[in-house]
Chains A and B, each alone.
Chain A
Amino acid sequence: MEWDWNFVREIMPTLIEGVKITILATILGSALAAVVGLAIALLRRSSNRLVSRPVGFFAEFIRGTPLLVQLYFIFYILPDFGILLPPLLAGVIGLGLHYGTYTAEVYRAGIDNVPRGQWEAAKACNLDARQTWMHIILPQAIPPMIPALANYFIAMFKETPLLSAITVLELMNQAKSVANSYYRYIEPMTLVGAFFLVISLFSVVLLRWLERRFGRVGE
């Protein structure tokens, strides 16, 4: 089998459509994971066990089951309960929830790393709980964990081909469909790998920059 540049040129526009969806799913999924992770981390710290326990159980449950299974549940099984989601939305929710349980651990570590004295100073300054979180704890906790969060977002990016299982027309799905219609796999699959590689390498450069920029606190 020979590499056919003409075929590459022909399928490129379709693959680029897929890349756009892949990137969109990653960005939306990351945003959701960032919010879900913070929510889980905060709720697990609640002194009310009726809150912290179920949230903790939920997080362990999600983390202990495969993303692919979760995607099937969200896209194919929720409709049985009357919840019908468009593929991309279902995929973003799946990615966001799944990776949110991982980012929750990053938030937990980041929050635990803020010295006890900061909580005490906030109290001595008579700040209430919300002001303490917003103005004192999170601004110190989040910058050092940005590299770790970004790491998960890059990992999520590379898992987006799973969304093809729930009919999202992301890069992998587009490549599969052109491959299946022309019975040529080498160009589409190589290009999928190449796209992921290029974007990952670019992301790693960004990650290194983030580490330099935010890795240290209070400097």
Chain B
Amino acid sequence: MAEPIVRIDSISKSFGAFKVLDGLSMQVMPGEKLALIGPSGSGKTTILRILMTLERIDGGHIEVEGEQLYHMERGGKLVPADERHLARMRQKIGMVFQLFNLFPHKCVLDNVTLAPMLTKGVPKAQAQKRAMELLDMVGMADKARAMPAQLSGGQKQRVAIARALALSPRIMLFDEVTSALDPELVEEVLNVMRRLADETDMTMLLVTHEMGFAHDFADRVLFFDRGRIVEEGRPEEIFRNPKQERTQSFLKKIIAAGHRV
């Protein structure tokens, strides 16, 4: 059996007095598509943010591709990682945000080429060629010269996906990527993600409230509540036949709120 690509070992994280994660452990296998669901404040987004190094952990260890994320070896001892180590580890990971976070002062094409040119020294022509391929894949090639402000939410999010892909990450993190979209724009983003899941062997972690999409997309679903994994399993098990009372009541509320499963 293959080694996990991500190994999270009893991490904890507090914001002030609020303990978001409390001794959480989980593993992700290479190529796995994982959906993280649960009520807000349950810590699922925090896990993605910790993996992207946007938040530091208070305790525990994380391994990505067998290497410590927040620690490094020096003189046979594990010490906190320095910025160089973090930068090297970040190359393995890409993230798409709820609010897109496109660079508003740069056109679509420059949003996608910026990081490869700056961080990997890719020549401009080559970066642009690759960016156009990615924009074509997300259906945004004809908007390459548009500014982000001229795009709809769904278009922005598709560009953001292309931007994250441009760095060829091994792991992609999707943080509620359709939550800020008008309902009629959700599907165009989900379609891009389906294609991505079908055509690549990238490992994908998805925090979502789209239960129908999570059901179709994920190999495994984790239900979070109060910083712990309450229940996990194949989507059909979790959605059709949840065992834990808390999972059941969460799904009931979600369905009552009009989300389809």
A135 / chain B contacts, CB cutoff of 8 Å: 103, 114, 118
Contacts of B203-227 to chain A: CB distance below 8 A: none
The residue that B164 contacts in the complex, of A124, A131, A218, with Cβ under 8 A, is A124
Q: Which single residue of chain A is at the shortest CB-CB distance from B103?
A: A136
Q: Which of B9-17, B88-96, B124-132, B238-246 contacts A (4 or more CB under 8 A)?
A: B88-96
A22 within 8 A of B: no
Q: How far is the CB of B131 from chain A (nearest CB, A)?
A: 13
> B145-174 toward A: CB 8 Å interface, digit per residue (1/0)?
001110000000000000110010000000
Complex Cα spacing A127 to B115, Å:
7
- Is A125 a contact of B119 with CB atoms below 8 Å? yes
Interface of A is mostly: helix
Q: Give 23 CB contacts A-B under 8 Å.
A: A117-B99, A118-B101, A120-B101, A123-B54, A124-B52, A124-B94, A125-B119, A125-B167, A126-B90, A126-B115, A126-B167, A127-B115, A128-B119, A131-B118, A135-B103, A135-B114, A135-B118, A140-B104, A140-B105, A217-B104, A217-B105, A218-B104, A218-B149
- Is B149 a contact of A126 with CB atoms below 8 Å? no
A136 / chain B contacts, CB cutoff of 8 Å: 103
Extra contacts, 17 of them, besides A124-B52, A124-B95 (Cβ < 8 A), are A118-B101, A118-B103, A120-B54, A121-B101, A123-B90, A124-B54, A124-B93, A124-B94, A125-B163, A127-B114, A135-B103, A135-B118, A139-B105, A140-B104, A140-B105, A218-B148, A219-B149
Q: Which single residue of chain A is at the shortest CB-CB distance from B97?
A: A117
Q: Which single residue of chain B is at the shortest CB-CB distance from A130?
A: B118
A219 / chain B contacts, CB cutoff of 8 Å: 149
- Is B103 a contact of A123 with CB atoms below 8 Å? no
A118 / chain B contacts, CB cutoff of 8 Å: 101, 103
Q: How far is the CB of A182 from chain B (nearest CB, A)?
A: 56
Q: Using C-beta atoms within 8 Å of the partner chain, give the interface range for chain B.
A: 20 to 34
- Is A125 a contact of B149 with CB atoms below 8 Å? no
Complex Cα spacing A115 to B102, Å:
11
A126 / chain B contacts, CB cutoff of 8 Å: 87, 90-91, 115, 119, 167
A127 / chain B contacts, CB cutoff of 8 Å: 114-115, 118-119
- Is B101 a contact of A117 with CB atoms below 8 Å? yes
Q: Using C-beta atoms within 8 Å of the partner chain, give the interface range for chain A.
A: 10 to 19
B101 / chain A contacts, CB cutoff of 8 Å: 115, 117-118, 120-121, 124
Chain B interface (Cβ < 8 Å from any Cβ of A) = 52-54, 83, 87, 90-91, 93-95, 97, 99, 101-105, 114-115, 118-119, 147-149, 163-164, 167
Chain A interface (Cβ < 8 Å from any Cβ of B) = 115, 117-118, 120-121, 123-128, 131, 135-136, 139-140, 217-219
Q: Which single residue of chain A is at the shortest CB-CB distance from B89?
A: A126
B102 / chain A contacts, CB cutoff of 8 Å: 121
Q: How far is the CB of A61 from chain B (nearest CB, A)?
A: 33
Complex Cα spacing A135 to B102, Å:
13
Q: Which single residue of chain A is at the shortest CB-CB distance from B150?
A: A219
B115 / chain A contacts, CB cutoff of 8 Å: 125-127
A131 / chain B contacts, CB cutoff of 8 Å: 118-119
- Is B105 a contact of A123 with CB atoms below 8 Å? no
Complex Cα spacing A182 to B52, Å:
75
Complex Cα spacing A135 to B147, Å:
16
- Is A120 a contact of B149 with CB atoms below 8 Å? no
Complex Cα spacing A136 to B104, Å:
9
The residue that B53 contacts in the complex, of A123, A125, A128, A139, with Cβ under 8 A, is A123
Residue from the set B83, B94, B95, B105 with the largest chain A CB neighbour count within 10 Å: B105
